[in-house]
């Protein structure tokens, strides 16, 4: 049973380009969460999605960032016109549903903006 799969593992983008980060949840999990870990900082919640719905985006920056979890395919975190401050590790987690329990995290995508 594969865990949470994120790709790419490493992504280098020039300032102004777009970054697309993908996350396939664990089999049977319908809830996806994105977190960002800036250098020397803790994990910060960004967005919580279910299939075709954004449930909580209270941690998403107001501009340039968007997320989706389509009916078919992986969840996508999209960052438009990247800036150096977007350089971070982006982690995806999944869970089977609401209620008690922890999440399973992926290995992350390390985004470097040059």
Partner 1 sequence: EDQVTQSPEALRLQEGESSSLNCSYTVSGLRGLFWYRQDPGKGPEFLFTLYSAGEEKEKERLKATLTKKESFLHITAPKPEDSATYLCAVQAGRGAQKLVFGQGTRLTINP
The reply to whether 15 sits near partner 1 by the rule CB under 8 A is no
Pick from 75, 68, 76, 70: nearest CA to 26: 75
Q: Is 11 or 59 the residue whose CB approaches partner 1 more closely?
A: 59
Distance CA 103, CA 114 (A): 32
For the chain, the distance separating the N- and C-terminal CA atoms, rounded to the nearest angstrom, is 36
What is the token pair recorded at 66? 């968007």
Part in contact with partner 1 (CB under 8 A); list of ranges 12-20, 66-74, 75-83, 106-114: 106-114
Length of the chain: 114
Site string for partner 1, 46-85 (x = CB under 8 A): --x------xx-xx--------------------------
DSSP helix/strand/coil, 16? coil
Q: Which DSSP category does 28 fall into? A: T
Part in contact with partner 1 (CB under 8 A); list of ranges 12-20, 39-47, 62-70, 74-82: 39-47
Q: Where along the sequence are the contacts to partner 1 (CB under 8 A)?
A: 4, 31, 33, 35, 41-45, 48, 55-56, 58-59, 91, 95, 98, 100-108
């Amino acid at each position: 049973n594969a865990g949470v799969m994120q790709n790419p593992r490493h992504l280098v983008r020039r300032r102004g380009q777009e970054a697309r980060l993908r996350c396939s949840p664990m089999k049977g999990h319908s809830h996806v969460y994105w977190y960002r870990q800036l250098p020397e900082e803790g994990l910060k919640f960004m967005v919580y999605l279910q299939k075709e719905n954004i449930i909580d985006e209270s941690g998403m920056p107001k501009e340039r960032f968007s997320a989706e979890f389509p009916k078919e395919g992986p969840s996508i975190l999209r960052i438009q016109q990247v800036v150096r401050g977007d350089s971070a590790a982006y982690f995806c987690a999944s869970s089977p549903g609401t209620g008690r329990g922890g999440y399973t995290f992926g290995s992350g995508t390390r985004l470097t903006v040059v």
